[in-house]
Amino acid sequence: SQTIHQWPATLVQPVGSPLSLECTVEGTSNPNLYWYRQAAGRGLQLLFYSVGIGQISSEVPQNLSASRPQDRQFILSSKKLLLSDSGFYLCAWSVLTGRPNTEAFFGQGTRLTVV
C-alpha cells in the first residue's frame, strides 16, 4: 500500500534562518506531488505542485521554493524565513492520471513557527 511520510512534525525556527521540509512517498511511481500551507484559522493554499522529477510549478509568489530531486521525494525550502511563513505545511500526492476523480493523500503535516 502507498504511504506518505513528512517530517519534521513540528519546527520552531528564528526569522532569517533556512528551512528544509521533506516529504517522501512509498508504494507508487511517478506520483503528482503537492505542498499546501494552512495558516492559522484559514483554509488550504496550494504552494507548489510537481508532475515529475525536476518539474515544479508555483501557484503563488512567495519566500519559499520546492524541489523534486527523486521521483518520490519533494522538498520545501527557504533561504531566509519570515514571520509570515509560520503555518501548517502539508505534503500530498495523487496518481498521475489526468482524470479529475483522483483524490489526493496527505501527510501528517509540519507545524512551523517562525519566531
First to last CA, the chain: 38
CB nearer to other proteins: pick between 13 and 111: 111
Q: Which residues bind other proteins (CB under 8 A)?
A: 6, 32, 34, 36, 42-44, 46, 49, 51, 57, 90, 92, 94, 96-109, 111
How many angstroms separate the CA atoms of 54 and 114, rounded?
Answer: 28
Instruction: Count CB atoms within 10 A of the CB of residue 91.
Output: 29
CB nearer to other proteins: pick between 17 and 108: 108
Shortest gap between Cβ of 101 and other proteins (angstroms)?
A: 4
Shortest gap between Cβ of 95 and other proteins (angstroms)?
A: 8
CB nearer to other proteins: pick between 14 and 40: 40
Shortest gap between Cβ of 93 and other proteins (angstroms)?
A: 11
CA atoms within 13 A on the CB side of 45: 15
Name residues whose C-beta falls within 8 Å of residue 100's C-beta, 6 or more positions apart in sequence.
none
